[in-house]
Amino acid sequence: MIGLAEPSSNSGGETIIECPPTHFRVARDMRDFSPHRSGRIAVILLVVGMIILSVAVYFLIPSDDQDDAVRTMMLHEVQISDFEAFVTEPGDVESSKNTEVRCEVESLGQSGTAIISIIEEGSQVKKGDELITFDKSNLEDKKIGQEIVVAGDEALLTQASRNLEHAIRTLTEYEEGLFEQEKELYEGEVLAAEELLKSNEASLKHGERLAARGFITQLQLQSEQFAVKSAQRDLAAKTRKLDVYVRFTREKLVGQYEGDITRLTALSLAAKKTLELSQKKLKDIDEQIELCTVRAPSDGQVVYVNDERRGVVIEEGTVIRDQQLVIVLPNLEQMQVDVHINESHVNRVSVGDRVEIILDAAPETPLAGRVKEVAAYPFPRRWHGAPLEYGAVVPIDPPPASIRPGLRAKVKISFASKPNVMQVPIASVIEHQKQHFCLVKKGRDWDVRPVVIGLHSSSTVVVDKGLSVGEMVSMTPFEFIGREDLPDAKPIEGEVAGKQEPVEKMDSQEGSVTMKERASEPQESVPGS
């Protein structure tokens, strides 16, 4: 015979039904089957079929008693226990202090520089260890071209310097050599003209004496006079020539030579600056080539900085733009959880709230912490209609040795607690006319009981007045009564006006639902208080 056992209560306050297993046994070995035994086997099979049919009818067409027994499974026993209200949000494990490794190779007109090789993510490195090698082939080609430019600029500077030196020597040669030589030549001509004049003047005086005595004719005397005048004119010409050379020709030539020097000095300086610029460009290319090999600036563990929004995955062949963050080396002694708090929960979370951290990678080892910071503004929406989320920081104190950046976590933030209070599941509370009711089991009847509620969590609510320890309340009240069966609201004895908390949207990981919505939903199981 199959039947239901007596209801029993578990430690959580829910009443459950234990059904003993039914055994159907056919003690026959089919290998012993024979025609003369077929009649007995047929009878046995007929009996078994009738039993199965009876069981099916029993469960498919329940009696009133059976129906009540099944419904008792959705009862909750009122108990006194510690209350805790919390929200659970996702988060990512990060370090509060990270050493950033960026691409410092200039793009040089391209979209970026490709990764040739990169150290495996998660590797432990020491300062100076090689992390990344970027493609430097374009830079090496540019270096060869720039070396040719530098060689040409060096040749131009050398020629300009030689021209300048030649101009300076020419000026010095003229001032200290050629000018004096020319001057002395002109001065010699003046002296010769002076001597000739003196000679001719002496001849003239002698001729005058001879002419007075009649030794020479007047024509001869006139010839002597003409020679003196010619010598005077020649001396004057030679003197003017010397004066012009000293006063004007020298100044003119010195000015020309100095002008050449000025011009060649400027050309030499320009060639020097051009060479310096081309050498600097060559040096920059060399530095860029050196930057293609990235080494660890400090000790740490390698963590790739993938950009999911841009579709950037750090790996060999990925093109990285200038100053793009590629790797971080986190400080594993300063770890925290970056939490994303739903907008419906953010007003309940405060700095200093106690936190329990459950890592997806190690759920059996919860970690502790407290809220350090809650963002004043939400994250930008990822897509239209997405819920707003606020950032919060929870340091892990202390971080375990096995923790790694990038781990996913569930963060349980406790924002309210109260010891030794009476509480029931939210599903057992009905809101009607701004008052709350519970459906209390009284034998085979139900008592619609007004209650005063207090603090609540996502699953339970504190009952300040209206219930007693040990009473059984239904977690599916609308299966037994309709809203029209609820009484009109009236004050509860001892209730302070305005003291009762309003029913608001309750928090859950799946979303926020009101008490009345939770009560009307089918309940598979409800956690105990």
- Tens digit of pLDDT per residue, the chain (529 long)? 323 333 444 434 443 333 333 333 333 343 344 444 455 565 566 656 666 655 454 444 444 554 554 454 589 999 999 998 888 899 999 888 889 999 999 987 778 999 999 999 989 899 999 999 999 999 999 999 999 999 999 999 999 999 999 888 888 887 777 777 777 787 788 888 888 888 888 888 888 888 888 788 888 888 888 988 888 888 888 888 888 777 777 778 888 888 889 999 999 999 999 999 999 999 999 999 999 999 999 988 898 998 877 788 999 999 999 999 999 998 888 899 999 999 988 988 999 999 999 999 889 989 999 999 999 999 888 777 778 999 999 999 888 888 888 889 999 998 888 899 999 999 999 998 889 999 999 988 899 999 999 988 878 899 999 999 999 999 999 888 888 888 886 766 555 433 444 444 333 333 323 333 333 333 333 333 3
Q: Would you state the structure tokens that stand for residue 501, as one six-digit string?
A: 């908390």
DSSP string covering 91-146 = EEEEESSEEEEE--S--TTSS-EEEEEEPPTT-EE-TT-EEEEE--HHHHHHHHHH
H or E element: which one contains 366? strand 362-370
Q: Would you state the structure tokens that stand for residue 28, as one six-digit string?
A: 């026959």
Q: Domains in the chain and their CATH numbers? A: 8-61 (no CATH), 102-130+297-319 (no CATH), 139-291 (1.10.287), 325-413 (2.40.30.170), 420-520 (2.40.420.20)
State the Cα torsion 173-179-180-186 to the nearest 10°.
Answer: 150
Q: Crossing angle of helices 179-213/218-244, nearest 10°? A: 160
CA–CA dist 286, 278 (Å, integer) = 12
Q: Would you state the structure tokens that stand for residue 199, as one six-digit string?
A: 């000679």
Q: Residue-wise over 282-314: b if at least 16 C-beta within 10 A, else e?
A: beebeebbebbebebeeebbbbbebeeeeebeb
| Residues listed for the chain | 529
Q: Would you state the structure tokens that stand for residue 359, as one six-digit string?
A: 């890592």
- Amino acid identity of residue 357, one-letter, is I
Question: Is the separation of the CB atoms in 20 and 5 below 8 Å?
Answer: yes
DSSP string covering 186-212 = HHHHHHHHHHHHHHHHHHHHHHHHHHH
Quote the pTM value.
Answer: 0.49
